[in-house]
Amino acid sequence: MMSCISSKIVVYLLPAFPCLVYLGAILIGEIGKSRWLNAAVAIPAVLFILLYVFGVKMHERYLFPALFLLGMACMLQRDRRLVWLMAALTCTVFVNEGIVLDNSIRLGSSM
C-alpha cells in the first residue's frame, strides 16, 4: 500500500506547487515590489511559451498559464512591450484554437 502512495506522491502534490508559488508572489507583493518579483512572474511565462513553441505535438492548454503569467507581469511591471506580447500571444492562441477546432470538426476527433 505504501508503494502505491509513494509512487504517485509527485502527481498528488503537483497542483500544490503552483499554489505555493503564487502564494509566495502575493506575500512578496505585500512586502514590497522588487525586481525579483517581476522576474519571478515574467520568466515562467516565457518558459511556458518556449515549451509550447519548441515542443513536439504540444497541446494548446500549455499556453493558458503563459497568458495568465503575462497578465500578472503586465500588472506588476506596467510595460507596454509586455502588453503587446500578451496581445500577440492572445491572438495566436485564438487562431490556434480555431484551427484545431476546425480540423477536429472536418477530420473527426481521431487525429
The answer to whether 87 and 96 have CB atoms below 8 angstroms apart is no
The answer to whether 37 and 76 have CB atoms below 8 angstroms apart is yes
Q: Using the predicted structure, report yes or no on whether residue 86 has a pLDDT greater than 60.
A: yes
Residues 63-73 have a mean pLDDT of 85
- The residue assigned the cell 509566495 is 24
Residues 5-21 have a mean pLDDT of 70
Q: Which amino acid is located at 66 in the chain?
A: A
Provide φ and ψ at 18, rounded to 5°. -60, -35
pLDDT band at residue 28 under the 50/70/90 scheme: low
* Residue 66 vs residue 40, higher pLDDT: 66
Residues 78-105 have a mean pLDDT of 87
What is each CA distance from 13 to 16, 19, 23, 56, 110, in whole angstroms?
A: 5, 10, 15, 26, 32
